Amino acid sequence: ENIFTEVEQFLLEKKLTHEDFRLKYLSRKGVLNELFEDFKKISGDQKRLVGQTLNNLKNRLEEVHVELSANNIANVSPKNQSQVLDLTLPEIQNQIGSLHPLSIVRQKIVEIFARMGFNTEDGPEIETDWYNFSALNFAENHPAREMQDTFFVEKNEVTKDDLLLRTHTSNVQIRLMEYKKPPIRSIMVGRVYRNEAISARAHCQFHQVEGLYVDKNVSFKDLKDTLFHFAKEMFGKDTKIRLRPSYFPFTEPSAEIDITCFICHGDGCNICKHSGWVEIAGSGMVDPNVLANCNIDPEEYTGFAFGMGIERITMLKYGINDLRLFFENDVRFLKQFNGL
Ligand code: PHE
C-alpha cells in the first residue's frame, strides 16, 4: 500500500524522470523484483491475496512509467532539466523562405507593364468554348480545339456549353472587351492548361502573361516598341528584338518575338540552339473579327495583343534548363532565389 501511494505521488510531482523511475521500480534490482523475491517465501493462504496485489502494483508501475516517458521532456522539473537540456546541440535555425522564381518574374513583368500604363485583369481558369476559342476567331474545326491540346470538362447541364480548362489567358481579353470599351490597356496573368506530356520543355500547366491594347490608331509600331521596351527592361538594355511572321487565329498580321540570346550574345550556345535568338512571345494586331465579337467597331478601333509564358521568361532570365523544377518545390532549387 505504501508503494502505491509513493508512486502516485511521483506521478503528481514528477520528481523522477522516467528513467530514474524505471531503475528504482522496474529494473532487475528494483523494488518490484525484490517484492516478487519476497513473495516466493510467503506460504499458503496469504499467497493469493498478496499475489493479486503485486500484479496490480506491477500494472500500475508500468502505466506510470509510460506516462512519465510521455511527459518527460515537457514536464520535467527544473531540478532535473539538465538531463534533457543538451547545450552542445546545434541551434534550430529559422530559415527565411524566398519567393518562388515564377512569382519573382511575374512581379517584374507586371511592374514593367504597369510603368507603361497597363493594368492587370483576371479571369476564370475553367472556361467555355466561346471565351477560349470561338470568340477568338478559332474556326470550328481548328486543330487546337482537339483533345490533344485541351482538357475538356463535363458540359454545363443548364447552358449546355462546352467547358474546358483555358489553354491561354486570351479568354480574359474577350471578357474584358465585353464589359469595357476602349481605351483598353491591360495585361492578363494566370495559369493555363494543355494536355501535354510532362518533360523538361513541356508541362500540362504553366503561366502566361498576355497583353491587350485597344484604342484609336493603335499601330504595329506601337506593338513593336512596347515589346522592345519590355525586353530591354527584363533582359538588359543591350537586348535586341526580332519579329518573325507567324499565325494566330485572333491576330492579323501576327508575329513571333525573338530576343538576342543574352547568354551567348549571338556567339552560339545550347539555349538558342546556336542561332543567337530565342523566342519569348507571340503577338499581333487584334483581328477585326475578334473586336466585332466583343461589339467593338473595327472601323473605329485597332489594337495589338501579345502573349508569353512566364516559365519561359524565367528559364531564360535565370538559365534554368528544366521546366519541371518549377512545380516540384525542392527547397534546394527554391533557396537559390533568396533575396532576388
Ligand atoms: N494566346 C497565344 C498562345 O497562347 C499567345 C498570343 C497572345 C499570341 C496574343 C498572339 C497574341 O499561344
Confidence of residue 205 (pLDDT cuts 50, 70, 90): very high
Whole-model pTM?
Answer: 0.72
Residue nearest to atom 7 of ligand 1 (CA): 307
Percent of residues, the chain, with pLDDT higher than 90: 56
β-pairing verdict for 205-215 and 184-193: antiparallel
Cis peptide before 253 (omega within 30 of 0): yes
Given a cut of 80, whether residue 330 has pLDDT beyond it is yes
pLDDT of 40 reads 86
Cα 167 to ligand 1 centre (Å): 10
Mean pLDDT score, 283-308: 97
Residues 138 and 40: their CA atoms lie apart, in Å, by: 95
Given a cut of 60, whether residue 79 has pLDDT beyond it is no
Ligand 1 pocket check: which of 191, 250, 279 to mutate, most ligand atoms within 8 Å of Cβ?
250
Ligand 1 binding pocket, CB closer than 6 Å: 168, 170, 210, 248, 251, 282-284, 305-307
β-pairing verdict for 119-121 and 184-193: parallel
pLDDT of 252 reads 96
Cell matching residue 31: 523494488
| 3-class SS letters over 268-308 | CCCCCCCCCEEEEEEEEEECHHHHHHCCCCCCCCEEEEEEE
Strands (E), 159-274: 163-165, 184-193, 205-215, 241-248, 251-260
Least confident of 53-57, 65-69, 252-256: 65-69
pLDDT of 80 reads 57
Cα 329 to ligand 1 centre (Å): 28
Cell matching residue 50: 498478496
Rg of the Cα atoms in the chain: 36
Residue positions forming the annotated binding site: 252
pLDDT of 82 reads 57
Q: Contact 339/285 with Cβ under 8 angstroms?
A: no
Which residues are within 8 A (CB) of 119 and not within 5 positions of it... i.e. 6 or more apart?
185, 186, 187
Closest CA to 285 of 230, 321, 247: 247
Residues 270 and 281: their CA atoms lie apart, in Å, by: 19
pLDDT of 104 reads 96
Residues 297 and 312: their CA atoms lie apart, in Å, by: 35
Which has the higher per-residue pLDDT, 106 or 340? 106
Residue positions forming the annotated binding site for Mg(2+): 252
Given a cut of 80, whether residue 75 has pLDDT beyond it is no
Confidence of residue 278 (pLDDT cuts 50, 70, 90): very high
pLDDT in tens, 220-252: 999 999 999 999 999 999 999 999 999 999 999
Which has the higher per-residue pLDDT, 13 or 261? 261
Highest mean pLDDT pick, 7-16, 196-205, 223-232: 223-232
Confidence of residue 17 (pLDDT cuts 50, 70, 90): confident
Confidence of residue 87 (pLDDT cuts 50, 70, 90): confident
pLDDT of 78 reads 55
Which residues are within 8 A (CB) of 13 and not within 5 positions of it... i.e. 6 or more apart?
77
Which atom of ligand 1 is closest in space to residue 308's alpha carbon? 5
Cis peptide before 90 (omega within 30 of 0): no
Least confident of 3-12, 70-79, 154-163, 306-315: 70-79
Given a cut of 70, whether residue 320 has pLDDT beyond it is yes
Residue nearest to atom 4 of ligand 1 (CA): 168
Write down the ipTM of this complex. 0.97
Amino acid at 102: L
Query: pLDDT averaged over the chain?
Result: 89
Which atom of ligand 1 is closest in space to residue 173's alpha carbon? 9
pLDDT of 204 reads 93
Cα 138 to ligand 1 centre (Å): 12
pLDDT of 14 reads 66
pLDDT in tens, 26-62: 899 888 899 888 888 888 788 888 888 889 989 988 8
HSE toward the beta carbon, residue 266, CA cutoff 13 A:
7
pLDDT of 108 reads 97
pLDDT of 147 reads 60
Which residues are within 8 A (CB) of 207 and not within 5 positions of it... i.e. 6 or more apart?
102, 106, 189, 190, 191, 192, 309, 310, 311
Confidence of residue 83 (pLDDT cuts 50, 70, 90): low
Closest CA to 193 of 161, 163, 172, 169: 169
